[in-house]
Each structure stands twice: as C-alpha cells, then as structure tokens.
C-alpha cells in the first residue's frame, strides 16, 4: 500500500462493484483451465480469497474442495491420486504453518518424482496485515521446501500468476516430474480489479518427454539381443498405463526376465517372465542388466551388510554389463541425498524410460535373427519354470502359522485376496518397506496399472493412510474397489483422514495390519543392542504402541466410518471382511482392525 | 581352568540334551521358556512370531537346522542378522528357543487351503 493510499479514507462501498472482480476469481479461471478435479486443503485465512472463489465463483466443481484435517494428508492424498489417475491434484495451505505441516509429504512426493501442485497463501504487504497475518507471513514462503520442489514462484501481479501457474503445471508434469509451489499474495487474491482489465488465461502445452538418443538405443538393443541372460529392472518406469504394455512387449520380444522394484506398477505380477520373487538369483545370473528408471541402481547390483562394521559386495556378476535409462541423469539436487550411491555403468541413457521403450523394442525386433529367437525361446521356458517355482514357494511359505493368533500377515493378505479377486480392485496402500512381508505382491494377481500405486518415496511414515484415501478418491469415479492394508503406526500420524473419507463418501476398505508397534524401528534398536552386546530385552522401549492398546475400530467409528475389530482369531476375518465390503460397495469407507503378527 | 572345564561341561550338557532330549521331545517347560525368550530377545522381529519367517529373516521352524549349527549361526551370522553373544544369550537359553521353534505347528498341505489356491 502506498503512503497516499494509506492516508486515503476507506471507500463507502465495501462490496465489489459491478465493474469489478477479485483476483482470486481469475486464479480459479487459470486453475480450471489446468483441469484439476479436486483441491485438497485444511482451511487457512491466508488463502481465504481463493477458497471463496473455488466454492462460489468456481461452483465447487473441477476443482471440488476436499476438506482435510492436516496438510500432510492433503499432499499425500494428492501424491497417491496422481499415481492412480495420472493427473495432479492441487493443494492449498498457509505459506507458513500449513507448509510446515505439508513439508514431509512434499518431500515424499519429490523423492517419488510425483507432481503435486501446491498453492500457498501469504500476505506480503506488511502495511495491510491483520494480526494473525504477521505470524502467517513470510518473506520467501517456498524457501523451506525449495530443496525438494522442482520449481516455485511468487507472482507479483495477476498476469504474472497466470503465466507462472501454467508454467508450474508444465514443469511439474515434464519427466522427471516433481512437486511445484506457487505462493499467492493475500492482496493479489482479495483486491478488486476492474473487469475492463482483460486477463487472458495462458494456454498449456505439455512438453513431450525426452527419448533416448537413437545411437545409444541401438547399442543397447545390440547388447540385449546378444546377451545370454538379460535382465530388465523397472522401478519408476511406467508413468502411464502404456508403460506396462511396453515393458511386457520388450520382455516378450527378448524373453528376458523382469524385476519390478515396485515404485510403480510396471509389470504383471504373474507374468511368466516376472522374476521379482527370485530377484537376487536373477541379478546373479544376468550378463546384461538394464535399469529402467531405477532410483537405486547401486543397491540393485550390490549389497550392503548392516553390521557394526558395514561392508559391501557386488551381487551382480563382475563381468555383467550395466546400463541405465533414466531421467535421473537429467535432474539432481545437492542437499537431500535421494540420488543414492554412484554406480559405474557401461552405458547411460539420459532419457525417460517409458518414452524410450518404443524405439528400443523396434531396434530389438529389427536385430533379432532366427538363431537368437530359438535361444530366446529356451530362455523364456527356463524363466517361466523359475517364476512358477518361486510362486509355489510363496504359497507354501504363506501356509506357515496359518492358524496362529495374532493373525499372520500372509493369512491376512490371502483372506483379503479371496474376497476381492473377482472384483475390479485396486490396492491403494503402499509402504516404504514391505511391511506386510510383501505378501500381497507375492500372492495376488496384479495385472492392471491401477492395482498397485508404489511407495511413499522418501520413507516418511504417515503417508499410508492419506495416500490410501487419495488413491480411493481417484478410483471412485471409475467404480473400482479400493482396498488398503493399513499399518497402525502410520495411521496414528494423522487419523483424521478417515473423517475426510467419510465426509466425502470415498469408498475404501482399510484392513488394519495392527502389530501394536513400530516394529521396523524396534528391529533397528535391537540391532544396536546386539552390536553393543548389552542385552536385547529392552530394545522394544520407545517403539511399542501398546499399554494401552489402541482401539482402531472405535477410532474409525468416531469419525463416521463403519468399523469392526479388533480381530485376533484368523477364522473371524473372512466374515468381517465380507460385512465391511458390503458397506464399501454402497460407496462408503469401512475399516476392519486385525491384530497381526509383527510382519 | 575351572571356567574352561565348566564351559566344556555346559557344552556337553547342551549338545547332549539336544541329541537326547531336544531331538526327541522338548519339555513343556523348555518350550514355554523358549517362547518367552524368542520374543524377549527379539528373534520374532525378523523371523516373525511363529518362526515362520518373512521379509526380514528366513523361516526357522518347525524343523530348524541342527542345534550346533543353529547356535553357531546365532553367534556368528554370515549375513545381515545381528550377532548374539553368550553374554546376552546363553547356550541353554538358545536351546530353549530351539525347543520352541522345533515344536511349531506344521502347516496343513497348501493345496487344502482354498485361500491359497493358485
């Protein structure tokens, strides 16, 4: 505000004149042009102008406001929604306290290379700030997360907002994708502007992702066709449903084994060439290993022994040729260390994996001679037998402790699978580590792209519950049955997201993997106890969630979610799941609390 | 010297009992003590409540590897498993854990479990 303006007495008319509109209405025009279906937010006064424009001017559709009880929930919902739907969600938050809550979830999305579109409210003009706007005011709001967003801006005018909002969307969606932040000045949202001041909405044109250089792709195809035992390792490969189709085509053209590291749904779990369940053996056998958007290639071909004196060893053959195809080579930041250890490779293609597959498939087919086809077929038969044997071992392993109480995690997954396998299901929960012993991935038939949504990215716990609700929100309009295996420690971060699911009638079956503790962490502390040789029996201290036990069914019920449990007898599980599924099929969330074995 | 003699005697008792008592029929007392120890010293964190194994450790029971190898492994693991010295876990205690693992229920034949049908 200028000195002259400060000295001017306030106008009599305190509502918008007919020839005026507010800045945040224009912001909604731009946001609508980008196609957001939802905007997730915990309400905050620094973006009250935009909030009002979304619900009144925008009609609360596209985007529809989703009420969240924590900004971490807003961002994690958007994170998983993207992985199910392929479209980002918008999130609104205070530039200070809201972003502070959201920060970990933004970090997860960044590590997972997932776009989340964050709109922050902030009052830049100190001469206009109300009391609360002082501690909700910041010079440079995005500074706090700048290390783990791809781009941010603080527009100074509405025209500037229009350009930056569209630019941010484009940048977020260009592989390697990542979250972006736009900070919205309170004055820019709230001050009237003349309707004569014509503000165009810039047109969005998404950039096509970078493909591998053709000479390098030919070289890779030659190596693959000549290999005796090629292995394709996919992690964040499938950006779109077509990514799965392309990887199947490449694997079948070569009759090569595939390991799906699972940050995305890359490859059908029961495809005969899927070697994920015998990953270590497959890596050890391979003479050519191709990492397709693998976030940690070093750990794919090496092992680290977690003892008092850590040691490493190569698990791939010393002579194996190593190749990477990844946008990771196009984008790296300094501070946060998610780039992992440097692995020496024989060929590095800096390009998007999915976009490079068509030309790689074409080159492989072109170079494949009749002799090689026969070799490929024999290899395919061997791999088919190896994956069949691994699946059989998984079934037998799952049968141990079948009748035990608390319920074994294998039994939990097998019972859930029995109830959903004839439905159009989607497993919306996913974890940093294979919390449920990886049983779902070992036992279930994952074939459709939305059936598996990958991990938290940065290992930040508290992602699981909101991510499940976000994935379920995406699945809702497709009529898919969303199921989550919900860990107890994760739910306790921000259980209010269950209320969000009830409030917005988001159908989701959450089955608790309630082992009454942070057992992964207990294991780490016990490892320290052992290494220091001073007794292990107190190792659980600080990692337990018992005494008192938490009643998750009542927690959920208190927020309007149908819930049952705690279930300790495995034979009670199937009937409880059926009752809960009946509720979910009516379009509502439900939760079954199952007391389980540790992992 | 006395200590060494005692240690030798202990070894004899433990391995002796493995061959005679444990291999045939662990006592209810041993199994009970073993169950408590298996939890208390955290074997269950990685090998899971019933010794059935999981993502963080292989299956240990029923039919664990022979007791001498079992003890040797726990003292000096070859891989990622943390070591347990005699100071924190005696051989007698390991014998009890072994008894607990030995007596875990064998699963029903997998083909009789409809939920695990391929």
The answer to whether residues A233 and A290 touch, using CB atoms and an 8 Å cutoff, is yes
Q: Give the whole-number percent of chain A exceeding pLDDT 90.
A: 94
A309 and A363 share a domain?
Answer: yes
Q: What is the pLDDT of residue A197?
A: 86
DSSP A271-332: -TTB-GGGHHHHHHH-SEEEEES-S-HHHHHEEEE-SSS-EEEE-S-TT-EEEEE-GGGG--
**Cβ–Cβ below 8 Å for B49 and A404:** yes
Cβ contacts of A539 on chain B, cutoff 8 Å:
42
| Closest chain A C-alpha to B73 CA, distance in angstroms | 14
Residues ≥6 apart with Cβ < 8 Å to A456: A108, A112, A430, A431, A432, A463, A464, A467
Cβ contacts of A437 on chain B, cutoff 8 Å:
48, 54-55
| Residue A10, domain CATH | 3.40.50.970
Say what the pTM is. Answer: 0.94
A384 and A475 share a domain?
Answer: no
Q: What is the pLDDT of residue A182?
A: 98
| Residue A290, domain CATH | 3.40.50.1220
Rounded-to-integer distance, Cα B104 and Cα B60, Å = 10
Residue B9 has pLDDT above 50, yes or no: no
Q: What is the pLDDT of residue A430?
A: 77
Phi and psi (nearest 5°) for A5? -65, -40
Mean pLDDT of chain A: 96
In a domain, A219, yes or no: yes
Count of domains for chain B: 1
A28 and A124 share a domain?
Answer: yes
- Residue B51's domain spans which residues? 22-105
In a domain, B38, yes or no: yes
Count of domains for chain A: 3
**Cβ–Cβ below 8 Å for B82 and A415:** no
Nearest alpha carbon to residue A226 among A363, A428, A111:
A363
Closest residue on chain A to B117 (Cα): A395
Closest residue on chain B to A392 (Cα): B118
**ipTM score assigned to the predicted complex:** 0.89
Nearest alpha carbon to residue A349 among A360, A362, A336:
A360
**Cβ–Cβ below 8 Å for A530 and B40:** no
Which band of pLDDT confidence, cut at 50, 70 and 90, is reported for residue A583? very high
Degrees, nearest 5: CA angle A200-A205-A208: 165
Stretch A110-130: mean pLDDT, rounded? 96
**Cβ–Cβ below 8 Å for A522 and B107:** no
CA A30 from centroid of its chain's CA atoms = 26
**Cβ–Cβ below 8 Å for A540 and B49:** no
In a domain, A137, yes or no: yes
In a domain, B85, yes or no: yes
In a domain, B12, yes or no: no
| Residue B62, domain CATH | 1.10.760.10
Residue B24 has pLDDT above 80, yes or no: no
**Cβ–Cβ below 8 Å for A305 and B82:** no
In a domain, B5, yes or no: no
Residue that terminates a domain, selected from A364, A393, A422: A393
Closest residue on chain B to A409 (Cα): B54
Cβ contacts of A433 on chain B, cutoff 8 Å:
55
Residue A201 has pLDDT above 70, yes or no: yes
Q: What is the pLDDT of residue A5?
A: 61
The DSSP output letter for A141 is: G
A375 and A456 share a domain?
Answer: no
In a domain, A580, yes or no: yes
A269 and A353 share a domain?
Answer: yes
In a domain, B112, yes or no: no
A578 and A479 share a domain?
Answer: yes
Cβ contacts of B107 on chain A, cutoff 8 Å:
396, 399-402
A141 and A277 share a domain?
Answer: no
Residue B12 has pLDDT above 70, yes or no: no
Which band of pLDDT confidence, cut at 50, 70 and 90, is reported for residue A148? very high
Which band of pLDDT confidence, cut at 50, 70 and 90, is reported for residue A298? very high
User: Mutate which of A277, A520, A599 to disrupt the B interface (most B C-beta within 10 Å)?
Assistant: A599
| pLDDT tens digits along A514-530 | 999 999 899 999 999 99
A566 and A431 share a domain?
Answer: yes
A348 and A403 share a domain?
Answer: no
In a domain, B88, yes or no: yes
Closest residue on chain B to A414 (Cα): B115
Q: Spell out the SS3 assignment of B55-110.
A: CCECCCCCCCCCHHHHHHHHHCCCCCCCCCCCCCCCHHHHHHHHHHHHCCCCCCCH
- Residue A154's domain spans which residues? 3-194
Look at the block and give the residue holding tokens 């002259």.
A4
In a domain, A203, yes or no: no
Smallest Cβ distance to A415: which of B59, B82, B115? B115
A254 and A362 share a domain?
Answer: yes
């Amino acid at each position: 505000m200028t000195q002259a303006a400060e000295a001017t007495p306030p106008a009599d008319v305190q509502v918008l004149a007919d020839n005026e509109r507010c800045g945040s209405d224009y912001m909604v025009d731009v946001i609508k042009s980008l196609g957001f279906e939802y905007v997730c937010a915990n309400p905050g006064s620094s973006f009250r102008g935009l909030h009002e424009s979304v619900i009144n001017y925008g009609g609360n559709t596209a985007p529809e406001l989703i009420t969240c009880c924590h900004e971490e929930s807003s961002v994690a919902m958007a994170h998983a929604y993207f992985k199910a739907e392929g479209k980002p969600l918008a999130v609104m938050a205070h530039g200070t306290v809201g972003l502070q809550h959201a920060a970990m979830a933004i970090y997860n999305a960044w590590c997972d290379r997932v776009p989340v579109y964050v709109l922050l409210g902030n009052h830049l003009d100190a001469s206009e700030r109300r009391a609360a706007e002082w501690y909700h005011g910041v010079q440079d709001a995005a500074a706090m997360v700048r290390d783990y967003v791809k781009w941010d801006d603080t527009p100074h005018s509405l025209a500037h907002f229009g350009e930056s909002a569209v630019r941010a969307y484009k940048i977020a969606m260009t592989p390697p994708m990542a979250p972006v932040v736009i900070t919205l000045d309170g004055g820019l949202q709230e001050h009237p502007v003349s309707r004569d001041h014509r503000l165009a909405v810039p047109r969005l044109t998404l950039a096509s992702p970078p493909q591998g250089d053709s000479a390098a792709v030919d070289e890779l195809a030659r190596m693959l066709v000549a290999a005796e035992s090629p292995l394709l390792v996919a992690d964040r490969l499938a950006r779109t449903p077509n990514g799965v189709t392309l990887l199947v085509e490449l694997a079948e053209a070569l009759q090569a084994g595939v390991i799906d590291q699972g940050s995305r749904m890359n490859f059908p779990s029961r495809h005969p060439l899927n070697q994920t369940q015998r990953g270590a053996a497959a890596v050890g056998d391979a003479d050519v290993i191709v990492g397709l958007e693998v976030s940690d290639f070093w750990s794919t071909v090496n092992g680290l022994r977690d003892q008092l004196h850590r040691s490493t060893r190569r698990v791939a053959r010393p002579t194996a040729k190593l190749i990477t195809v990844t946008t990771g080579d196009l984008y790296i930041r300094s501070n946060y260390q998610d780039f992992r250890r440097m692995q020496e490779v024989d060929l590095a293609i800096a390009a998007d994996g999915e976009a490079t597959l068509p030309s790689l498939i074409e080159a492989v087919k072109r170079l494949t001679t009749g002799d090689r086809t026969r070799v490929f077929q024999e290899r395919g038969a061997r791999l088919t037998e190896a994956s069949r044997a691994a699946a059989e071992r998984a079934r037998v392993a799952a049968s141990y402790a079948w009748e035990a109480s608390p319920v074994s995690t294998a039994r939990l997954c097998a019972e859930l699978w029995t109830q959903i396998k004839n439905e159009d299901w989607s497993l919306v929960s996913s974890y940093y580590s294979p919390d449920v012993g990886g049983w779902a991935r070992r036992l279930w038939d994952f074939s459709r792209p939305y059936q598996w949504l990958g991990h938290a990215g940065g290992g930040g716990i508290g992602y699981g519950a909101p991510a499940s609700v976000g994935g379920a929100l995406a699945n809702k309009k497709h009529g898919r049955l969303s199921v989550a295996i919900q860990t107890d420690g994760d739910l306790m971060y921000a259980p209010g997201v269950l209320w969000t699911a009830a409030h917005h009638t988001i159908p989701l079956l959450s089955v608790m993997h309630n082992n009454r503790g942070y057992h992964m962490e207990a294991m780490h502390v016990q490892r320290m106890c052992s290494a220091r040789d001073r007794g292990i029996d107190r190792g659980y201290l600080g990692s337990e969630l018992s005494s008192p036990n938490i009643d998750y069914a009542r927690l959920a019920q208190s927020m309007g979610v149908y819930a049952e449990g705690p279930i300790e007898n495995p034979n009670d599980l199937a009937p409880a799941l059926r009752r809960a599924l009946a509720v979910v099929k009516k379009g509502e969330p439900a939760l079954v609390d199952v007391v389980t074995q540790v992992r | 010297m006395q200590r060494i003699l005692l240690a030798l005697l202990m070894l004899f008792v433990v391995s002796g009992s493995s061959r005679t008592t444990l291999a045939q029929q662990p006592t209810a007392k041993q199994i009970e003590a073993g169950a408590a120890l298996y939890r208390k010293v955290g074997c269950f964190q990685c090998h899971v409540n019933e010794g059935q194994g999981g993502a963080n450790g292989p299956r240990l029971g029923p039919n664990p590897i022979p007791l001498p190898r079992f003890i040797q492994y726990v003292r000096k693991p070859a891989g990622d498993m943390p070591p347990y010295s005699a100071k924190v876990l005696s051989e007698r205690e390991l014998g009890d854990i072994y008894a607990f693992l030995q007596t875990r229920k064998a699963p029903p034949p997998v083909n009789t479990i409809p939920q695990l049908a391929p």
